[in-house]
Amino acid sequence: GAVVSQHPSWVICKSGTSVKIECRSLDFQATTMFWYRQFPKQSLMLMATSNEGSKATYEQGVEKDKFLINHASLTLSTLTVTSAHPEDSSFYICSAYPGGGTEAFFGQGTRLTVV
Amino acid sequence: KQEVTQIPAALSVPEGENLVLNCSFTDSAIYNLQWFRQDPGKGLTSLLLIQSSQREQTSGRLNASLDKSSGRSTLYIAASQPGDSATYLCAVSSGGYNKLIFGAGTRLAVHP
């Protein structure tokens, strides 16, 4: 199956700093990438949809100025959590969609802890 | 607004049992339905994908069915093993292809 690499797998940062998470499709081009977050013992919630070369579409309730998404190429999307606070601590996971009616493929996730 | 519900929330069974996990969704206008496995602290492993025009998919000991009109899917696990212990997530593609709406999951524990 197709491989999606997410980096870093875990990160600890101080409150007020920014953190960048990368999502790469290694063996296919992704027309669309999705970003999800998951709180402990809860399900995944879609945060935003990003298409290469255009602005991301954010789900209701997700602050676009806090969660900056850049999809600069067909193989890379980044999520930057700006001015992180402890309540942003969560598991963030991306998925990449190759198009053509296939399924999307998921990265391994990033555990963010803000202290 | 699409909502996905999974029952039961947790399940503990002895090794060798056959299991049925349930998933229901409120809006039948879906592109597809997927079942995933998630191990603690890990990402998702796709188990089965059922397109909206299909009724079921099988992979090894896993069989998933889809009844779109009633908004239901089941994941059948045959001859469960301790290695099957994980959280199983159901997700429907709704409001855009591969824009997935997830259920809360079923936490499965299979003990020897």
Task: Note the pLDDT of residue B97.
Answer: 67
Q: Is the pLDDT of residue A34 over 90?
A: yes
Q: What is the pLDDT of residue B91?
A: 95
Band of pLDDT at residue B75, cut at 50, 70 and 90: very high
A101 CB neighbours in chain B (<8 A) are 97
Alpha-carbon gap: B57 to the closest alpha carbon of chain A (Å): 14
Span A65-89, pLDDT tens digits? 999 999 888 999 999 999 999 999 9
Q: What is the pLDDT of residues B43-66, one digit of tens each?
A: 899 999 999 999 999 999 999 999
Point out the residue among A32, A44, A91 whose CB comes nearest to the CB of B102: A44
Cα separation values, B19 from A58, A92, B61, B62, B106, Å:
37, 30, 11, 10, 12
Sign, CA torsion A35/A56/B101/B69 = negative
Residue of chain A whose Cα is closest to the Cα of B91: A44
Per-residue burial over A51-66, b if 16 or more Cβ lie within 10 Å, else e, is bbeeebebeeebeeee
pLDDT tens-digit readout, B3-48:
999 999 999 999 999 999 999 999 999 989 999 999 988 889 999 9
**Strands B106-111 vs B86-93: parallel, antiparallel or unpaired:** antiparallel
Cβ–Cβ gap B100/A44 under 8 Å: yes
A104 in contact with B at a CB cutoff of 8 Å?
yes
Q: How far apart are CA B2 and CA B95, in angstroms?
A: 9
Size of interface A-B (CB pairs under 8 A): 50
Any alpha helices (H) in B1-112, and if so which ranges? none
Query: Min CA distance, B104 vs chain A (Å)?
Result: 4
